[in-house]
Amino acid sequence: MDDRHFSNFQIAGFTYYDGAEVFELFKIGSVLELRAEPDNRFDPYAVAIYISGAKAGLYSSRKK
């Protein structure tokens, strides 16, 4: 596999949700499930990031 860099982004709520518990599962090629969270009161465009069924955090459309 070629070594490529596609993007950097922050995972909001990583320590609030289960991010710390599943950190070791994040590897190149890991399967992630992305779920829209239109009812999120802070960001209706947020996308939840799940790995192995655990919610690792959110990708937020809001700039920090």
Using one digit for the tens of pLDDT, what is the confidence trace for 26-50? Answer: 888 899 999 999 999 989 999 999 9
pLDDT at res. 1: 55
Q: Mean pLDDT of all residues in the chain? A: 87
Q: Is the pLDDT of residue 63 over 90?
A: no
Q: CA–CA separation, 36 vs 25, rounded Å?
A: 22
pLDDT at res. 32: 93
Q: CA–CA separation, 46 vs 8, rounded Å?
A: 16
Strand order in the sheet with 33-36: 33-36, 47-51, 54-59
Q: CA–CA separation, 14 vs 44, rounded Å?
A: 18
Q: At residue 34, what are phi and psi to the nearest 5 degrees?
A: -110, 130
pLDDT at res. 45: 93
Q: CA–CA separation, 4 vs 53, rounded Å?
A: 27
